[in-house]
Chain A
Amino acid sequence: MNRIRQKDASGVWIVPAVLTLFLTFLIIVPLAAMFLNIDGESINEVIRRSEFFSVIGNSVLVSLLTTAISIVLAYIFAWCVIRTAMPFKKLFRILVIIPMLIPSISIGMGVVLLLGNNGIVTNIFGFGSDIYGINGIVLGSVLYSLPVAFLMIENILKFEDSAPYEAANVLGIPAKNRFFAITLPYLKKPMIAVAFSVFTLSFTDYGVPLMVGGKFKTLPVLMYQEVIGQLNFGKGCVYGMILLIPAVLAFVIDLMSKNNSSSSFVIKPFEIKKNTFKDFFAGVYSSALSAFSFLPIVSFIVLAFVKKYPSDMTFTFENFEKTLRMGGSTYLRNSVLIAVLTAAIGVLTAVLTAYFTARTAGKLGKYLHLVAMSTAAIPGIVLGLSYVLLFKGSALYGTLIILVMVNMVHFFSSPYLMMHTSFSKVNENLESVASTLGIGKMRLLKDVLIPKCAHTVGEMFSYFFVNCMMTISAVSFLANTGTKPISLMINQFEAQGQLEFAAAVSIMILTVNLIMKSVIREK
């Protein structure tokens, strides 16, 4: 049935044509510019550098450890949330997800504040200062990737069918066999996607290692120093290429596995029964995990609101006032402006793109879908660098618009996919009916499809907004003193050792994001 091609009303082709040009220009062209910038000399220089292979080794090791730990922790927590009747589910869930609303560099800072040389835990219990290096990076990366892993796994477990388990129960198959015979095969594919996401997240992140890495260098940090510190774009591009590899791999695997899975049968949800032992275990585990993931935030709340940690613990707003006076108010305004503009333009672009890819057939739709999804595979710092190379010297360079554009592309795939999924679920005959009634496609989109998917539109807006507020990756290459978003002040304060200001900035970002989240939820 889906092979049936809808007849286009005349003129409607203009919208997909414009979208195609727009997205190609913003996504494909910058990447091409980056590839063209790579020369043999840079490659040689990079490879001949003695630390090159050890840095790659570091990055892979850190990311593998992070992925393994993060997935195990997240899986158990998701299981507690979905399959048990433990109390305070919602609270635990919120505490674990909240780190998603602050930059990775803030989480790195939280780790330092807790376990660093002068950290809260270190001072109280007298241990912890081993944190600089691989331990700290893995710890920070786990904290940073945990919410993502949890949300993905929660979604997988939520839609697991209980019928095979019931059948196994009736047949008297023991629990451990059930796990290997039913659970694992079901989880295999989606869990590979989770693993790749977490791996890529930690592989391409420079916030955490910049904060706690010490002498232990990872690829993104090296790239960051090469480009920001020494303005060596050629070498930056070589690192960028390497950083692209895991995400591109994940992307290709995902594309291939999508084609042969078509499980759209009715799903029987699990019945949650009270089980004192299970619920108790789940409660204890979830309390511990919530504390673990929320403690870094507590630590910089403490730091931001006291005069001088640890010598003078008087409550004060001074750190906020000083931060705002040192340009913070302008940068905060920049951030909100960038976030709102990105969200508005991003939602519009994603809705239109999703409409054409989800509800019309044809090659153009397939191309658009591929381009839109490919944005998931481009790490922020790689994207930022490619924009520098393409737009340096143009009128756009150094403006707020280029920050909006780069953010929109950087965060495009998730909101696009949300809308694509929502639109795909809407009755496939709607356009046929509308065309017999003389109702144009754009009109139908505005009057019927968007109102029907209003909830998704809200989620998309909030996703763009929140991520723009906290990103430090792509924008770090493109912002100048006039356009700087407030998140970049964290890098600056960190470099100057003024952690109390960096903490204040993190709290401001968190507050704005919490407000946005609650506004969207209210609607």
Chain B
Amino acid sequence: MKAKQVAKDEQKLVLALIGNPNSGKTTIFNNLTGARQHVGNWPGVTVEKKEGELLWEGRTIQVVDLPGIYGFGVHSEDAAIARDYILLEKPDVVINIVDATNLVRNLYLTLQLLEMGANVVIALNMYDELRAKGADVDTARLSELLSTPVIPTVATRGQGMKEIISQALEAAKAKGRSPLRIDYGREIEAEISDIERYLSSCPKLAEKFVPRWLAIRILEGDEDLLRVIGGFCDLDEIKTRREAALNRLESIFGEEIESLIANRRYGFIESVAKEVIRRYQATEDQASISDKIDRIVTNRYLGIPIFLLTMWMVFQFTFKLGDPLTGLIEGLFERLGELMGAWLEGLGAPKLLSSLLVDGVINGVGSVLVFVPNIFLLFLAISILEDSGYMARAAYIMDRFMHAFGLHGKSFIPLLLGFGCNVPAIMATRTLESKRDRLITILIIPLMSCSARLPIYVLFASAFFSSHQGLVTFSLYLLGIILAILMGVIFKSFLFKGESSHFLMELPPYRMPTLKSTFIHMWERGSHFIRKAGTIIFMVTVLIWVLANLPIGVEYASQESALGRIGSFIAPIFKPAGFSSWEAAVALLFGILAKEVVVSTLGVVYGVEESGLREAISQNWTPLSAYAFMVMSLIYIPCIATIAVIKGETNSWVWAALAVSYSLILGWLVAVIVYQGGLMLGLG
């Protein structure tokens, strides 16, 4: 907030971008700002905030990307952010990106912006697609009817960007545009003026807002807006007037006021559209290609196989192609550690310092970077899926299935990716628009058994269930899925009780993704991870190292170390689950770093090499306690990278803390049930 204030004082121009989802807003933002962008969060919410800078004739112009919305009608975080930003921060110019091929629905938002009195410049995007359909828009006439500049653009090819900027600069000079007035008909107008009159009488309100627009929004039932104007007016008076108005209107029309207002707006838009859209050719090539693809892709019989094949390809691309790169990074850091260790030894540095640098710092940096290949590849794949329009189809195809568990069609892809690695999977939940759907999905992703948990299963299954290894491993994956479904239902009915989730989504035409936006998207996500999650992962890695080496002189991770003592202290908690040794507890503590570390830690605490590990384990565990331990490893606390990414994505420690605490309790409970149940069945 402060920074913005300063920026305004320096007369730095602020342009805000707004538009419907799929209107090409992100592409325009990328075109305007290039690499000079910064991704963060809007204060206090999970919604992402993108800002960037534009250099134009020696001036620096700030560009803010507002969330993609269809209008201000529905109360959502996205709409509230966009509304409050335009209303309270008052950007100099609002660039409204309008999909020219879908003019009517896109202008619905435009109309509301104009009613608000925003200083709007319209970018009529995807103009080439409209032309290909054999139509065009009389932009001069459109501009006249809306009294707003209109520029045709083709964002994917960078066309019209210069015009947009110079037009925006022009518009910025002519401040104080008079808001658009739509005639809502005699009866509604009477009620609007009644509330408007009252609002205008409130001191200072008319200086900041457009009273007529506020009056319309109040009649439409925008409860949230009342809070914004609470400082100016008597809210009870407004509510009384609104109630009276709604009663009068309903007795006249017998219909909801929202419906009447929306109808009038669309009526206005349709008359505008009729006047400005010129069709000179009856061909609809573009649409028919998209139709043809859809006929196959969402086909009753082919739809699901194609979807599964696509998912398999994304999975292979992300993990099969990424894992060798991950291995390369691991190897690199191992080698770097060795070199560093040898170099320090040559210098005669103390062993502790050398260990701090090698096992703590280098290892810490390494554990952040190992995620990078998977994240980059995944987001490459995801942005291709999104930009091409397939993502919307995937949600359409899977929604019936996911809805049965109270989730959204778009939850499927993140959950599936969770089997590879929970970290990119949680980052992939960005495609979910509703906060409720997104948070539930984030919270249950850690129950998807990621590939890092496999080494634990392999170790224990081969030591105790050598003839049924596959079955045992499979049972754990299945257990994870069942628990995820269960927890999803629980979260839905307790945490988000009464919050409705709906599925009303545009299926945009298929489009060719552009290299530029795909790479910007990929880069943005990857660097976001390093910045947001990187520090947390790094710090915890160093912290665990410190705990394993304190007090000074103690053997690494031994029972006498601080970590060993913590392990011994908490070990009795796991008695009912059948594994109360301090070794198991320390292994679980280390597992917080990354789940596969459980295996190497067991090697350290039992003082054996990897080859002797199976032997050591079969002496200290029973098959039943081993299974309970695997169950615990599956469920308990997500690894630190997952925790960090939950914090980063939700912008709150609360959700991260919830993920940690519920999984810890659930893990313990299920492990105990397994062990005690097994004992009762005589499996001990």
Do the two chains bind?
no
Using CB atoms and an 8 Å cutoff, list the residues of chain A in contact with chain B: none
